[in-house]
Amino acid sequence: MADRQPTILASLTDQVLRVVNSGAVLAEFPISTSRYGPGEQQGSECTPRGRHVIRAYIGSGLPEGAVFDARRSTGERYSPELARQFPDRDWILTRILWLSGTEPGRNRLGTVDTMRRYIYIHGTPDSEAIGVPDSHGCIRMRNRSVIELFDMVGPGTIVDIEP
């Protein structure tokens, strides 16, 4: 790998996340972004566009399928039985890469602040759709994929989310 830190490019159109460094694609993963499309407004449940950075990096060392609530591990592991017990839960699993916008007025500060909207890259149950828009604003990935991504990048990594 080059001396520079890799960059993450997420395509809303293609529903693909790429990790690139010095022009080379290091990894490519299918994702699921918002079922409501792109948008930055608080309460919209849309996926914000533009340049972001990974502000927080949560879940190191936890098992695949670890369940999070308010960015804290609940100590549970996702299972079909747990899903039946909580059928309306928006599952945030395995790892969280919490995004912060870098563009004031577009995705940072005020009513368009990505971090205050709690927008993450995170794992999701295998039963959830990937490759099609289906999230509540976050970027969902398969659990094994988010572990691989988590191990490739770190806090401060640039994340560009574009059509």
Contact 135, 33 (CB under 8 A): yes
**Averaged pLDDT for residues 91-98:** 98
**What is the pLDDT, as a whole number, of residue 67?**
98
pLDDT band at 3 (very low <50, low <70, confident <90, very high): low
Q: Provide the token pair at 5.
A: 């830190």
Query: What are the sequence ranges of the domains in the chain?
Result: 7-162
pLDDT band at 2 (very low <50, low <70, confident <90, very high): very low
CA atoms within 13 A on the CB side of 138: 22
Contact 31, 59 (CB under 8 A): no
Superfamily per CATH, domain 7-162: L,D-transpeptidase catalytic domain-like (2.40.440.10)
- Is a pLDDT exceeding 90 seen at residue 25? yes
- Is a pLDDT exceeding 90 seen at residue 4? no
